[in-house]
Amino acid sequence: MTDYLSSGQLPDEYQQLAKTVRDFAQTVVAPVAAEHDANHTFPYKVIDGMADMGLFGLPFPEQYGGMGGDYFALCLALEELGKVDQSVAITLEAGVSLGAMPVYRFGNEAQKEEWLPQLTSGKSLAAFGLTEPGAGSDAGGTKTTAKLDGTDWIVNGNKQFITNSGTDITRLVTVTAVTGVKENGTKEISTILVPTSTPGFTAEPAYNKVGWNASDTHPLTFQDVRVPQENLLGERGRGYANFLRILDEGRIAIAALSVGAAQGCVDESVKYAKEREAFGRPIGANQAIAFKIARMEVRAHVARTAYYDAAALMLAGKPFKKQASIAKLVASEAAMDNARDATQIFGGYGFMNEYPVARHYRDSKILEIGEGTTEVQLMLIAREAGL
């Protein structure tokens, strides 16, 4: 994959994976997407199908129940799913890159053996408990606390906008919490593993969202949640730094999902422009429509190239923070711009929720917010440029 940018051709195993997921997306996901969106229901049968395909284990070693693939394989799957249903795609993205990946990256062997086989199977989900009512982009503003009481951590606080946190198969939340004060007076932030069955843990009622209506999202409450001291994930005081690494990787995954959404809008617009007639000919024969779709295709292509580049650097073990931010920024804006243009091309039909472009229009805005806002990406890019 690392030489794709020069060769222009993905290796066979990646092409086959993309085709398999594409077929699944078209035949299994797409037919029920509008229904789940309208009813705000979590697509358990679809998720079961993805689990059976091994998608939740794509980037993890076989010793933990994974498929032995890599992060780019996950991104290809996200792109294909994102074309037809962003809610399903974000369920996979959050389940893998935000749910299971912290355990894999920073867990000890006992934690990996306990949790990863459950999570890589897709039969259980984990959530990423970072954002709080007063700590979003300013994650250092974390107020949730974890205090040692004998051999246990006592966790108290609140999290919000947490994906995959309240489903029937959610089993774990990794939580950032203040565990002390450093010598310089700043907060010591660590990460604690909290099984969702622990007394005092509550997934509050789900949000009524603009989009991603088939994705599970809840605020969380931790009231005297007691977990063993060995549920510390990674080194004490490294929770914030470790989660920043997870977010860097996750931005590549979100970029891939965004590219899928952008390309999905292109595909739907091309089909519609060929079929829809006005004034005696297909609307695609008009340059105003044809040129708009051409620009949409350009955005999707450029964004795809950006996330391929970031993924290649990551897999090669090279610095990729700036490229991940560039990919996330370019791709999320491409998704939003393409959704707006596709809705315009569809006219009145584009304003009807049963059409995929209408769902993309509602779904895509969060891509410019989640896992680091557009403004955060600009800040990171400028910082990496030396400003």
CATH code, 37: 1.10.540.10
Residue 193 confidence (pLDDT) above 90: yes
Would the pLDDT of 8 be above 60?
no
Tokens at residue 363, please?
């779904």
Last residue of a domain, one of 236, 256, 276: 236
- Looking at the 3D structure of the chain, how many domains does it have? 3
Contact of 249 with 313, CB cutoff 8 Å? no
pLDDT for residue 185 is more than 60: yes
Mean pLDDT of 349-376: 95
- Summary mean pLDDT of the chain: 95
Q: Are residues 161 and 89 in the same domain?
A: no
pLDDT of residue 4: 57
Residues 178 and 251 in one domain: no
Domain shared by 224 and 252, yes or no: no
Q: What is the mean pLDDT of residues 233-239?
A: 94
User: What pLDDT sits at residue 3?
Assistant: 55
Domain-ending residue, one of 236, 266, 284: 236
CATH for 150? 2.40.110.10
Q: What percent of the chain has pLDDT over 70?
A: 97
Reduce the DSSP state of residue 78 to 3 states and report it: helix
Q: Catalytic: 35?
A: no
Q: According to the model, what pLDDT value does residue 137 have?
A: 67
Q: Of 73, 48, 23, which is closest to residue 167 (Cα–Cα)?
A: 48
User: Per the residue annotation, which of 132, 268, 371, 375 is the catalytic one?
Assistant: 371
pLDDT of residue 150: 94
CA–CA separation, 183 and 198 (whole Å): 32
Nearest residue to 21 via CA among 42, 45, 52 = 52
- Distant-in-sequence, close-in-space partners of 131: CB < 8 Å, separation ≥ 6: 139, 159, 160, 161, 162
Residue 106 and residue 95 share a domain: yes
Within this chain, do residues 245 and 361 fall inside the same structural domain, yes or no? yes
**Tens-digit pLDDT profile for residues 173-182:** 999 999 999 8
Domain extent for 166: 126-236
pLDDT of residue 141: 85
Spatial CA neighbour of 152 closest among 179, 116, 187: 179
Average pLDDT over residues 365-377: 95
pTM score: 0.95
Residue that terminates a domain, selected from 123, 143, 168: 123
- pLDDT, tens digit, 9 for 90 and up, residues 119-156: 999 999 999 999 998 887 676 688 999 999 999 999 99
Q: Are residues 333 and 345 in the same domain?
A: yes
* Co-location of 216 and 131 in the same domain: yes
Average pLDDT score over residue span 297-302: 98
pLDDT surpasses 90 at 6 = no
pLDDT of residue 138: 74
